[in-house]
Structure 1
Amino acid sequence: MADEKLNDNVRAVERALDILMAFTASDFELTASELLKRVALSRPTLYRLLGTLQQSGFITSTGEPQRFRLGSSVAHLAHVWASRQDIHYLAQPMLRRLWDATGETVSLFITQEGKRLCVAEIPSAHPLSLRRGIGYQETLILGAGGRAILAFDDQPRHDIEELLRAADITPAEHHNKLAWIREHGYAVSRDELMVGATSVAAPFFGGGGRVEGAMCVYGPGARLNDEKVEEIARLLMRECELLSAALGFRRPDAVTAKQ
């Protein structure tokens, strides 16, 4: 009997979590009917769990018919979670796996004041290697890391034309490069910021859906041929997906439908 009661309690918790995870940034307010399409629950069970969640502040409701949204208790947990997040710390397993798999220098960049800032780096052990160093900053329009971020950044930038002129890049060339990155999911640069250097980068995203930065792998072009670049790109995109998930990013089409 005790085991059965424990199992029932665990299942109730799982169902309550399914309800909370049914909300997204675009679907932040849902009716009971809309919730039933996202969670595998009967209507009486749904209303019973919604009542419990409302009592504890995790759900609130307004209007007629009722429309439910996440409550202040969720905001409290989000604040606690966000205050302890350190992208550098979260990214360490991903960076280490990339370093082990490629043998090249691996870096983590975040956006800061319209530039990209290196906040973590694991240098290659090869005698001939390239590195930037923690604290290195660069404009977003140059290099694979910058363009990997810029290609998915929806924030308006009023200095782009000036930066392109300074870098001797035409707007058409710039837009074509960003379009290619959006199509393929990663960026590549050769001999751009450093002669003989090749860089491969992919973006990662935060809980709000915005691009937060990029992971980069770079080394001498003599080692990073086209085949190697494609292999590194696949590894980068996989690790960036894992980091994005760790930061709370959920794809717009992700819905909860546990049985």
Structure 2
Amino acid sequence: MEEKKSHESVRSVERALEILLAFRPGDKELSVAELLTRVDLSRPTLYRLLNTLEQQGFLVSSGEPQRFRLGSAVAHLAHVWMTSHSIAQLAQPMLRTLWEETTETVALFVPDGVYRLCVAEMESPQPLSFRRGVGYREKLVLGASGRSILSQMQLPAEELGRYLSDPNQDVARLFSELETIRTQGFAMSHHELIEGAVAVAAPFFNGADQVAGSLCIFGPSVRVTDKRVAQFAELTRREAGNLSRVLGQQTRQVHVAAGSRK
């Protein structure tokens, strides 16, 4: 009898978690009817669990018929998780994989207004290499790591003006370039910020499917040939996708056109 009760309690917890995980990015509220299409529960069981979750602060209901939204207890857990796991810490396995597979300098950037900020870096062990260092800050519009982030913000052309580094820059051309980067899923720069340096970067996303930064590989052009650029593009997209999943992304945002390369 005790074993049966224990099993039922565990199953109730599993069902309650299924309800919480039924909420997706963009879902402000869900009705009971909408939840029934996403969880395999009977209506009476769903109502019972919704009531329990609301009592514990994980859900809040309003209106008639009732609509449910995530409550403050979820925000509390999210805050605890985020303060305990910085993106730089969470990205360490992905950065190390890139570093080991390329032997070039790899870095993690996050957006900071119209800039991007380097929050983690692993320097190439090779004698000829480039590095920027943690704390390096540059405009999003400059360099592969910045433009890979900017491309996923999908700003209309008229809003790109405040991101420009040069007021005479061709906005239409920049808009077209960002669309290409967004489609292929990575950005590349050649001799742009450091003479002789080539950089390849791919964006990663958070649980709200918003761009959260970029992973970047950069090295000297004598080693980073066109063939290696194509390889680096695949690697950065792969590890950026892994980091996105760690950060809670449920669906892949970056659409990669078949055979698309730069």
What TM-score, normalized by structure 1, do the two folds share? Answer: 0.88
Task: Give the match's secondary structure for 2:37.
Answer: helix
- Structure 1 pair 157–82 and aligned structure 2 pair: CA distance change class (3 A): farther
CA distance in 1, matches of 2:160, 2:2: 61
Would you say how many aligned residue pairs link Structure 1 and Structure 2?
250
Counterpart position of 2:110? 110
Task: Give the match's secondary structure for 2:195.
Answer: coil
Are 1:164 and 1:170, in contact at CA under 8 Å, matched by a contact in 2?
no
Counterpart position of 1:147? 147
Alignment counterpart, residue 166 of structure 2, candidates 164, 167, 183: 164
Matched to 2:29, the amino acid is: E
Matched to 2:104, the amino acid is: E
Counterpart position of 2:215? 215
CA distance in 2, matches of 1:117, 1:72: 30
Matched to 2:251, the amino acid is: R
- Report the identity percentage: 52
Counterpart position of 1:54? 54
Are 2:139 and 2:163, in contact at CA under 8 Å, matched by a contact in 1?
no
Q: Render the CA deviation track for 1:81-123: whole Å, top value 9, x for unaligned.
A: 2333311111111101111111111001112242111111101
CA distance in 2, matches of 1:96, 1:3: 45
Give the CA deviation at 1:248.
3.0
Counterpart position of 1:257? none
Q: Which residues of structure 2 form unaligned runs of 5+?
A: 254-262
What TM-score, normalized by structure 2, do the two folds share? Answer: 0.87
Counterpart position of 1:22? 22
CA distance in 1, matches of 2:166, 2:141: 7
Give the CA deviation at 1:159.
2.1
Q: Render the CA deviation track for 1:47-78: whole Å, top value 9, x for unaligned.
A: 12112212212122111111111122212222
Matched to 1:217, the amino acid is: I
Q: Render the CA deviation track for 1:150-201: whole Å, top value 9, x for unaligned.
A: 111256555235x2346xx422321121011110111011111122211000
Task: Give the match's secondary structure for 1:152.
Answer: helix
Q: Does 1:7 align with 2:7?
A: yes
Bigger drift between 31-40 and 111-120 goes to 111-120
Are 2:111 and 2:212, in contact at CA under 8 Å, matched by a contact in 1?
yes
Counterpart position of 1:65? 65
Task: Give the match's secondary structure for 2:82.
Answer: helix
Are 1:164 and 1:171, in contact at CA under 8 Å, matched by a contact in 2?
no
- Structure 1 pair 7–234 and aligned structure 2 pair: CA distance change class (3 A): farther
The 5 A counterparts of 1:207-246 are: 207-246=207-246
RCO higher in structure (CA 8 A, sep ≥6): 1
Are 2:202 and 2:240, in contact at CA under 8 Å, matched by a contact in 1?
yes
Task: Give the match's secondary structure for 1:234.
Answer: helix
Counterpart position of 2:185? 185
Are 1:106 and 1:216, in contact at CA under 8 Å, matched by a contact in 2?
yes
CA distance in 1, matches of 2:89, 2:2: 41
Q: Render the CA deviation track for 1:8-32: whole Å, top value 9, x for unaligned.
A: 3222211111100111332121111
Task: Give the match's secondary structure for 1:213.
Answer: strand
- Structure 1 pair 233–20 and aligned structure 2 pair: CA distance change class (3 A): same
Q: Which residues of structure 1 form unaligned runs of 5+?
A: 254-259
Matched to 2:56, the amino acid is: S
CA distance in 2, matches of 1:3, 1:235: 48
